[in-house]
Structure 1
Amino acid sequence: MKIGAHVSIAGGVDNAVDRQLDVGGNCGQIFTTSPQVWQEPSIDEEEAASFREQTAEKLEGPWLIHSSYLVNLATPKDDLREKSIASMQAELDAAERLGVQYVNVHLGAHTGAGVEGGLDNAAETLDALDVPDGVQILVESDAGSGTKLGGEFEHLAGVLDRSEQDLGVCLDTAHSFSAGYDLSTEDGVEEAVAEFDDVVGLEHLKALHLNDSKHGRGTNKDEHAHVGEGEIGVEGMTAVLSHPELRDLPFVLETPTENGKSFEWNVDRARELQQDA
């Protein structure tokens, strides 16, 4: 089973490998810099080499780099678009240096441009990027609040269809549930996976963010819960983890640290649910 968590790179990006091992993970996700500010990654070659070597020796992989929260691919504003392109290009270049396979990004909000206009903007922004060989951009599903895109599978398919890049998809279970897809039952998961395959194509699904949701289906609220302890619950999480089209994909946890439960608890819980299915 490929499962891990979003871990810190504090003290050097190479420290992320041991942090991943500490929570029982064998793949995972990182930020290369603070996601709250416009700041390019600062990774020296010694750190990058150590990260690559340790990953090859100790983990099954893959790693994902999560882009800055400030990136907005769908924006109609030229200045924000240029900043988003620069930020994404820096992440892609960092991924190449680190040997990281995926850079994960949200589509962002169209802020009045409309869904179709926002999808056009997102594709144009993505097409302005120089994606290195061996690196792929993953567009992440969203909870769909306000004018944010990615809550509907059609949004993901729309960008994949419009863009000239070889894009993949990262499906976040909490986001998709909050956006309205019923992932709380075995039948619901089966129906959602079938719909994703019909609309987007399962061949494009490369990773999952495995998060339960603190809020109900269709609320468009993005707040993560421990695996099996939110509104998706044990049945839904088990169905996701054991689904034949999903079970071999990398699962990355972005669960909270609260109530005495950390990433390690969630990694163990996910493995237990998959094995018991």
Structure 2
Amino acid sequence: MFTIGCHLSSAKGYLAMAKDAVSIDANTFQFFTRNPRGGKAKDIDPDDIRAFVAFADEHGIQRILAHAPYTLNPAGAEDRVREFALMTFKDDLARMENTPHQLYNFHPGSHVKQGMDIGIEKTADVLNQVLNESQTTTVLLETMSGKGTEVGGRFEELAAIIDRVELEGHLGVCLDTCHVWDAGYDVAGNLDGVLDEFDRVIGLRRLKAIHLNDSLNPLGARKDRHAKIGRGEIGFDALVAVINHPLLRELPFYLETPNELAGHGEEIARLRAAYRG
């Protein structure tokens, strides 16, 4: 089954997001757990959760992806930054258990000139403090573009974090096509080679989701600027090859392109037409 959706506003609740998804022929969606720039999360409404579960079951929505706020930086140099990361991570994972067995994605952080090794150690340390045996949520480290002092621009950096986490069974990876392209992985010209490298370094069993985005930048630019599907340097045909690749086609795909709801609907329609089911 082709599972595809886009990023939706969580302001109106889970049921509203699910209805928005169905309105554009999506069967999954991504959302921020709170304001992407930080702050307190909206209280969970049990009635909304119950209505969402019933609606999702009726419309075939099985796997949704929550996204941590951008301000969550487990690799930060300042104590207050890491304290916020710990508090937010713990709160988000507790909230995720209202919708069990889903995905929670986060950016591995920025080492802020401390050095990559220290950034990796600090991100792993936060994960070791927040993961617990009983959780049903799979936490995903996102592949990054490598801009500035980002952690996660190379597959080896993500593997190094995972290797340092005790409850590594609760971890996976979300591959962002724009990010890996900007980081220098040629998903347009050598997709098989990129996946072979991912498998060698991290292991394809860890790959749980795809952020499907085009890029405004040339290969290896390390800038992270998303483009609409087929309107960037990766191109429509290359992204169609991603959704149809035998190693990827069963994964959920999430659009983070610069679009409104209707525009995402048009992208989903084009991709559904090109999917070889």
- TM-score range with shorter-chain normalisation? over 0.9
Q: What residue number does 1:173 align with?
A: 177
Distance 1:100 1:52, change over 3 A: farther
Instruction: Report the Cα distance in structure 1 between the residues aligned to 2:42 and 2:165, rounded to whole angstroms.
Output: 26
Instruction: Report the Cα distance in structure 1 between the residues aligned to 2:41 and 2:262, rounded to whole angstroms.
Output: 32
Deviation at 1:100, TM superposition (A): 5.4
Instruction: Report the Cα distance in structure 2 between the residues aligned to 1:261 and 1:236, rounded to whole angstroms.
Output: 23
Q: What residue number does 2:63 align with?
A: 62
Instruction: Report the Cα distance in structure 1 between the residues aligned to 2:275 and 2:264, rounded to whole angstroms.
Output: 17
Q: What residue number does 1:42 align with?
A: 43
Instruction: Report the Cα distance in structure 2 between the residues aligned to 1:150 and 1:178, rounded to whole angstroms.
Output: 12
Instruction: Report the Cα distance in structure 1 between the residues aligned to 2:158 and 2:214, rounded to whole angstroms.
Output: 21
SS at match of 2:97: helix
8 Å Cα contact 2:18/2:29 also seen in 1: no
8 Å Cα contact 1:52/1:99 also seen in 2: no
8 Å Cα contact 1:227/1:270 also seen in 2: no
Q: Report the TM-score when normalising by structure 2.
A: 0.93
Q: What residue number does 2:234 align with?
A: 232
Instruction: Report the Cα distance in structure 2 between the residues aligned to 1:246 and 1:217, rounded to whole angstroms.
Output: 21
Gaps of 5+ in 1: none
Letter of the aligned partner of 2:192 in structure 1? Answer: E
8 Å Cα contact 2:101/2:138 also seen in 1: no
Deviation at 1:136, TM superposition (A): 1.1
Instruction: Report the Cα distance in structure 1 between the residues aligned to 2:269 and 2:98, rounded to whole angstroms.
Output: 31
8 Å Cα contact 2:228/2:257 also seen in 1: yes
Instruction: Report the Cα distance in structure 1 between the residues aligned to 2:138 and 2:240, rounded to whole angstroms.
Output: 28
What whole-Å deviation, never above 9, does each CA across 1:5-48 have from its counterpart, x for those lacking one?
Answer: 11112322321110110121111211132111222332121112
Q: What residue number does 1:111 align with?
A: 112
8 Å Cα contact 1:171/1:207 also seen in 2: yes
Mean alpha-carbon deviation: is it higher for 219-228 or for 32-41? 32-41
Structure 1 residues 192-271: aligned runs within 5 Å: 192-257=194-259, 262-271=263-272
Deviation at 1:227, TM superposition (A): 1.6
SS at match of 2:62: coil
Q: What residue number does 2:32 align with?
A: 31
8 Å Cα contact 2:24/2:262 also seen in 1: no
Q: What residue number does 2:162 align with?
A: 160
Instruction: Report the Cα distance in structure 1 between the residues aligned to 2:125 and 2:119, rounded to whole angstroms.
Output: 10
Aligned length: 273
What whole-Å deviation, never above 9, does each CA across 1:106-135 have from its counterpart, x for those lacking one?
Answer: 001001221111100000011110445321
Q: What residue number does 2:77 align with?
A: 76
Letter of the aligned partner of 2:157 in structure 1? Answer: H
Letter of the aligned partner of 2:173 in structure 1? Answer: V
What whole-Å deviation, never above 9, does each CA across 1:201-235 have from its counterpart, x for those lacking one?
Answer: 00000000000111111111112112222100123
Deviation at 1:55, TM superposition (A): 1.7
Letter of the aligned partner of 2:181 in structure 1? Answer: F
8 Å Cα contact 1:104/1:170 also seen in 2: yes
Mean alpha-carbon deviation: is it higher for 100-109 or for 62-71? 100-109
Q: What residue number does 2:93 align with?
A: 92
Mean alpha-carbon deviation: is it higher for 220-229 or for 246-255? 220-229
8 Å Cα contact 1:41/1:91 also seen in 2: no
Identity of aligned residues (%): 37
Distance 1:27 1:96, change over 3 A: same
Gaps of 5+ in 2: none
Mean alpha-carbon deviation: is it higher for 18-27 or for 47-56? 47-56
SS at match of 1:139: strand
Q: Report the TM-score when normalising by structure 1.
A: 0.93
8 Å Cα contact 1:74/1:107 also seen in 2: yes
Instruction: Report the Cα distance in structure 2 between the residues aligned to 1:81 and 1:53, rounded to whole angstroms.
Output: 37
Deviation at 1:143, TM superposition (A): 1.0
Instruction: Report the Cα distance in structure 1 between the residues aligned to 2:158 and 2:66, rounded to whole angstroms.
Output: 19
Letter of the aligned partner of 1:75 in structure 2? Answer: G
What whole-Å deviation, never above 9, does each CA across 1:241-277 have from its counterpart, x for those lacking one?
Answer: 111110110001111127x97110111122223239x
8 Å Cα contact 1:2/1:61 also seen in 2: no
Instruction: Report the Cα distance in structure 1 between the residues aligned to 2:104 and 2:257, rounded to whole angstroms.
Output: 20
